[in-house]
Amino acid sequence: MPLQLDELEKFKLKRLIETLKNKRGRGTELISIYIPAGRRLDEIVKMLREEYSQAQNIKDRTTRHHVLEALATIIQRLKMLGYKPPPNGLVIFCGYIDTGIPGREEKEVYLIEPPQPLKVWLYRCDSKFHTEILEDMIKEKDVYGIIVMDLSEATFAILRGKNVQILKTITSGVLRKHHKGGQSQRRFQRIREHQINEYFKRVAEYAKEYFLPLEKDLKGIVIGGPGPAKQDFYSGDYLDYRLKNKVIGLVDLCYTGEEGVFELLKRGADVLKESKYIKEQQLINKLMKKIIKEDNLVAYGEREVLEMLNYGAVDTLLIYEKLPDKIVEAQCTSCGYKTNAKIKKESEKYKLQCPKCKIPLKILREKPLLDLLIELAEKTGAKVELISDQSEAGVMFIKTFGGIAAFLRYNPKR
């Protein structure tokens, strides 16, 4: 059975992949290995020993040393695992990372069990780690297609997880109605009906272009807009049958264009209730209602939430997924003074000074505040909900609460 990742585990793996993608080797000396599920590890060790023998012929002395060391490390780790890989297979990244200082490269090794059974074998030695297969495994599958239209324009968008992507807006070219009578009006009406028909065909073609490639992951399509155009389009024989079967709702709107897309996301909460975007909005709305009611089972702001986490009182932690702050532990090399400081920018840690000696502090350790809060939550069994900046509710949460809030099991101060 595939290993099912929850949102937090997927988030951690995604961050690790982003970190790995940014690492570079001095030469072609970073090793990426994908071992399929069910493949015996002793067979892999045998193959890597052959690679080790061939790597001894590498001309560049430093590259040769780094590749041989990386291969030896991987072989040692695999022998420790025994003959059988984890149920979903195994991904290994190992090599010497370029630090920007010649001769100061640092060896790093990562062993990852993929979230789905691996079906491919890959061994590659390059100046970067090959993370593409892992990336594809954690690609967001929560996808909805959106069409916002009237008789003047149509806008296409994709809701992928919590992210909204506006794809394109097209104009209809349909003539506006006029009030002249007689043959002139009937002729005008026939021309206009033809234009509407051609416009609806173009809308259907764009929908096919944008949404059909996503058919496997597409959970539904929502069509919205002011007036009857959306209903006429949906009822007519325009949409590809594979897409028409995916339509989960029609939503009445006041606006079209990009503004209409975000209005649809508000008004279409019922039809999109399973989407992560709507669930995030509902979570923040619940928080706001509790605060307005002066419910004592909520906390917000870094200081108060940290305090509640240390009490073990947090039921659910709400946290901005891109929280920039870091907690830095620093020490004075002269008098031994120690401190923990919060910084937002990398440059700020070099400005930390000893209050007694007035000299720069030495950085001992640093950790993202996000990681610290998640670790505390996991230790106390609290659920973690990651909040994005893709919705109005998410942006409001970040600005109002600094991106940190919590629902409490109990309030130790009451």
Output the DSSP codes for 345-403: SGGGGGG-B-TTT-SBPEEEEEEEHHHHHHHHHHHTT-EEEEE-SSSHHHHHHHHHHTT
Query: Residue 233 pLDDT more than 70?
Result: yes
Question: How confident is the model over 168-225, as pLDDT tens digits?
Answer: 999 998 887 765 555 577 788 888 899 999 999 999 999 999 999 999 999 999 999 9
State mean pLDDT over 360-368: 89
If 0-12 CB within 10 Å is exposed, 13-18 middle and 19+ buried, where does residue 346 land? exposed
The neighbour count for residue 54, using CB atoms within 10 Å, is: 10
Question: How confident is the model over 6-51, as pLDDT tens digits?
Answer: 788 889 999 999 999 999 998 889 999 999 988 889 899 999 999 9
State mean pLDDT over 385-390: 92
pLDDT of residue 344: 83
* Pair 27, 63: CB distance under 8 Å: yes
CATH 3.30.465.10 fits 143-273, yes or no: no
Band of residue 100 on the pLDDT scale cut at 50, 70, 90? confident
Round the average pLDDT of the chain to a whole number and report it.
91
Class of domain 281-327+365-408: alpha beta
More confident of the two residues 371 and 178: 371
Least confident of 146-150, 304-308, 315-319, 391-395: 391-395
CA separation for the pair 21, 99 (Å, rounded): 15
CA–CA distances in Å: residue 218 to residues 142, 162, 215, 280? 7, 14, 5, 20
pLDDT of residue 3: 37
Positions of CATH 3.30.420.60 in the chain: 143-273
Positions of CATH 3.30.1330.30 in the chain: 281-327+365-408
Tell the CATH superfamily of the 7-137 domain: eRF1 domain 1 (3.30.960.10)
Band of residue 2 on the pLDDT scale cut at 50, 70, 90? very low
Residue among 211, 213, 191 nearest 203 (CA): 211
Query: Residue 252 pLDDT more than 70?
Result: yes
pLDDT of residue 47: 94
pLDDT of residue 156: 98
More confident of the two residues 98 and 383: 383
Least confident of 67-81, 179-193, 209-223, 315-329: 179-193
Query: In 288-322, which positions are buried (b, 16+ CB within 10 angstroms) versus exposed (e)?
Result: bebeeeeeeebbbebebbbebbebebbbbbbbbbe
Positions of CATH 3.30.960.10 in the chain: 7-137
If 0-12 CB within 10 Å is exposed, 13-18 middle and 19+ buried, where does residue 216 land? exposed
Query: Residue 5 pLDDT more than 70?
Result: no
Question: How confident is the model over 129-169, as pLDDT tens digits?
Answer: 999 999 998 888 889 999 999 999 999 999 999 999 999 99
More confident of the two residues 223 and 83: 223
Name the pTM for this structure. 0.79
